[in-house]
Amino acid sequence: MRTALSISIIAGILIFSNCTPNNKSNSSATIPPVVLHIEQAGSLCDFIADSKIKQISSLTLTGNLNFYDASCVRAMEGLSFLDLSNANITVDRFMEERCLDEFLSSNLYSIAIPDNGFFSSNAFKDYHSLRLIEIIVSENNKLYSFVDGVLFDKNKTTLIRFLKEGTSSYVIPNCVKEIKNYAFRYSRNLTKLTLPEDISKIEDYAFEFCEKLIELHIKNPTPIPLKSYVFDYEVRNNCILYVPKGSYNAYWLAPGWGDFKHIVEE
């Protein structure tokens, strides 16, 4: 049976609706993907019924968006996919920069980000409350790249966020020189990690709450500066730090690295 589709435009919002007669109640109907174009930033919630806010699972937004629209998105408890790739994140007194953090709702699995938005340094601090596993980045994005479940900067020299939650072992690419704060925080399935030789900086709390991490292999014979709270107590106490041959003494003495209870040359 052919399904009729109606298209209407209300205050700059494009609305698609299924017009096929249905004897079933709305509560049992299939929830369609929602595509909306917002002309006036801050008006998203004005065009969605309160009863539908928590039912939307797939949402594509174009046009102009601000802090109020982000708040509306965060109220969508059933939202698993959000496409902002063709949206314009605007600046207002509540969101002075084009920050994407505000759009990260708790049940979101996948987000396509616009080229003019960015994640703050605290975007993934509370990753345990998120289900995000995919960030879709266009080739034209000048800030980010997303490869095999990991968010990097454009040049892939900085690892921003590890999203491969089901992965137990990971080798950080040789091109990476910096690991951002909270990059692996709450990666609770990670048991083995290898750091490249050219790594030069690891920021605060990068490996906090990685309770299952029991092997950390580092290729650089010279310890890089490290604060004591990059790795939490459980990791420093239970994880074996594998270092290059001849570098045991240097790592045993170095701040941060010397806090590991088990250091082994390989």
DSSP line for 187-241: -TT--EEEE-TT--EE-TTTBTT-TT--EEEE--SSPPP--TTSB-HHHHHH-EE
* Separation CA 161–CA 206 (nearest Å): 9
Count up the domains in the chain and report the number: 1
- What backbone phi and psi angles, to 5 degrees, belong to 221? -70, -15
Position 16 scores a pLDDT of 47
52, 77 in Cβ contact below 8 A? no
Say if 12 falls within a structural domain.
yes
Say if 71 falls within a structural domain.
yes
Position 139 scores a pLDDT of 94
160, 132 in Cβ contact below 8 A? no
Say if 190 falls within a structural domain.
no
Say if 126 falls within a structural domain.
no
| DSSP summary character for residue 118 | B
* Separation CA 128–CA 165 (nearest Å): 11
Sorting pLDDT into bands at 50, 70 and 90, what band is 5?
Answer: very low
Say if 8 falls within a structural domain.
yes
Position 119 scores a pLDDT of 93
Q: pLDDT by residue (tens digit) across 207-238?
A: 999 999 999 999 999 999 998 889 999 999 99
């991490």: which residue's tokens? Answer: 213
Q: Which of 56, 54, 49, 7 is nearest to 33 (CA)?
A: 56
Percentage of the residues of the chain whose pLDDT score is greater than 90: 75
Q: Which of 167, 109, 113 is nearest to 141 (CA)?
A: 113
Say if 67 falls within a structural domain.
yes
Residues sharing a CB contact under 8 Å with residue 240, sequence separation 6 or more, in sequence order: 214, 215, 216, 260, 262, 263, 264
Position 228 scores a pLDDT of 85
| DSSP summary character for residue 247 | -
Sorting pLDDT into bands at 50, 70 and 90, what band is 25?
Answer: very low
Residue type, 74: R
Structural domain harbouring 77: 1-118
CA distances 219 to 37, 182, 246, Å, are 50, 22, 12
Does residue 22 carry a pLDDT above 70? no
Instruction: CATH number of the domain at 67, please.
Output: 3.80.10
Rounded to a whole number of angstroms, the distance between the first and last alpha carbons of the chain is: 67
Say if 65 falls within a structural domain.
yes
Angle at the Cα of 205 from the Cα atoms of 226 and 250, rounded to 5 degrees? 20
Say if 70 falls within a structural domain.
yes
Half-sphere exposure of 6 (CA within 13 A, CB side): 8
CA distances 143 to 59, 140, 158, Å, are 24, 9, 11
| Mean pLDDT for the chain overall | 88
